[in-house]
Amino acid sequence: MLQFQQPLVKQVCASVSTGLLISCSLSTWGYPAISLPRMSLPDSPVKFTPNQESWFATVQLLMYAPGGLLGGVLCERLGPRKLLLLLAPLMWASFALMSLASCEVVLRTGLPEVFLLCCRAVQGLVGAVINPVAFIYTYEVTGSRLRGTLTGLLDAWSSLGMLLCYGSGCVLSWEAVALLVPSITAIPAFCGLLLTPESPMWLGRKGKEEAAREALTKLRSASELPEELEAVNNKPVAETSFKNSFREVIQKPNLLAMFAAALVIFTKEINGNAIVAIYIVHIFQFAGVGLDPNLSSVIVGSVRLACNCVAVVLMHSLRRKPMLSIGIILTSLSGASMAAFFYLQNSDYDVSSLGWLPITALSAFTIGYAVSVGPLCWLLSVEVLPGSVRSIGCGTTNAFQAISSFLISMSFPNFKSAIGIHGVFWSYAGSALLCMILVVIFIPETQGKTIKEIENYWGNLGKKEKKEPQV
């Protein structure tokens, strides 16, 4: 019994540690929602222009593009655990230093706004490296029975990070939030990672068989150990070296898998999730709901976290594609409801009796996203990638996700001015439904499948397409 519990404790410790880092990283997405309204007050020491406000909200998304690619490179070079240990202090510093922007020393320079934008850019770069590496590390250190659950749980950790921002922002200043959130996430994450071993799969890919076996004995139960040891021992180093991974990318099965991962991630973003996370307080202010906008954001954030926990339970028994489809349909209907509310509001219709609709629709959107779309898209984007291109593939899909989020978020103010906020939500709802159709057709069902079975799917698909012109 003790021999079984020790590997389980190590797996959970690794999952919690990476989850806390994800919380710190994703809390930077929710931070503008509570800080920008306060920075715009007349007595605020920070005076952002409208253009600077837009950059403050989205610059970290822009940095996710190069950072995501860099994460794949560094992960394969240094190892996921070692890289996360290096990144945790950097994430803490880039977040906590923002609390100094209102200090007299910084204000005298006349550049507190530039200082904040620089901190946000560093946050984005470090967070972009953390995200794919955290998913890779959790996926590779976890046994087959808990792999889907603990990997899918990372989206709940991201919800916790945003909820920490929303909740603390109700009672604390933006300076205090910038210091508190990273201190209760990044620091414990660093301490937890000190207690866990390096990824045995990465050690095996680098030809360090002895270290890989030692890591596996700490992470696997007696029943799982023989099969995993055989997989590590039989893995040729040349086939999984970083340099050779680039050559493997151009092979049709791997290209198809990477395209599938990018499609899944794009589906997650096109429904407007980044807009809801970044502009949630602004949306509630615009809607004129009866509740305090900050309190409304806490309610939505709490719903999201609770639903993420429900998702972990459902992923054990439900198939991935039907579960994902239901979530996308719910988020699309919620977006359409928001669009209808704002359309009526812009048409001078008396919406005073419909004050419940915005928070209800956004809560329903959050339920669909948190129970299904968010955790499943992240999990699928890792599951569909073959091991030989997993590091590069995760980095590429995270870069693609960053570019998509940045363009969607950065264009929101102009898009809203051009077609109205109702048109924005309608466009998100329609685009998400279209992507859902493509995912159902193209993406394989991964629930209950082994890593080898998923890799064989892409290999067989590539062979089938190659033979078709000869028929």
Determine the Cα–Cα distance for residues 323 and 369; give it in Å rounded to an integer: 11
Which of 95, 74, 91 lies closest to 83 in space, CA to CA? 74
The encoded tokens of residue 466 equal: 């190659």
CB environment 355-386: b (16+ within 10 A), e (fewer): eebbbebbbbbbbbbbbbbbbbbbbbbbbbbb
- Alpha-carbon torsion (77, 150, 433, 127), positive or negative: negative
Question: Whole-angstrom Cα distance, residue 208 to residue 229?
Answer: 12
d(CA 320, CA 440): 10
Assigned superfamily of 2-461: MFS general substrate transporter like domains (1.20.1250.20)
Distance CA 278, CA 31 (A): 8
Tell me the pLDDT of the chain (471 aa) as tens digits.
Answer: 444 467 888 888 998 999 999 999 888 878 887 888 888 888 888 888 878 887 887 787 777 777 777 777 788 788 899 999 999 999 999 999 999 988 888 888 888 888 999 999 999 889 888 888 888 898 888 876 777 777 777 777 887 888 888 888 888 888 999 999 999 999 999 999 999 999 888 888 777 888 888 888 888 766 566 556 655 555 544 444 445 555 666 677 777 788 888 888 888 888 877 777 666 666 666 655 555 656 666 776 777 778 877 887 787 777 888 888 898 998 889 888 888 888 887 777 776 777 677 778 877 888 888 888 888 887 888 778 776 677 777 777 777 777 777 777 777 777 778 888 788 888 888 888 888 888 888 888 877 776 667 777 776 765 555 554 444
Q: Output the six-digit token pair for 122.
A: 């560093």
Rounded Cα distance, 34 and 450, in Å: 43
Q: What pLDDT shows up at residue 17?
A: 94
**Domain ranges, ordered by start, for the chain:** 2-461
CB atoms within 10 A of CB 41: 8
**320-346 and 374-383 helices cross at what angle (nearest 10)?**
140
State how far the Cα of 379 lies from the Cα of 114, in Å rounded to an integer. Answer: 36
Phi, psi of 282 (to 5 degrees): -60, -40
C-alpha span between 455 and 260 (Å, rounded)? 13
CA neighbor of 394 nearest in space, from 377, 410, 416: 377
What pLDDT does residue 191 have?
95
- d(CA 125, CA 105) in angstroms, rounded, equals 26
End-to-end CA distance of the chain: 58
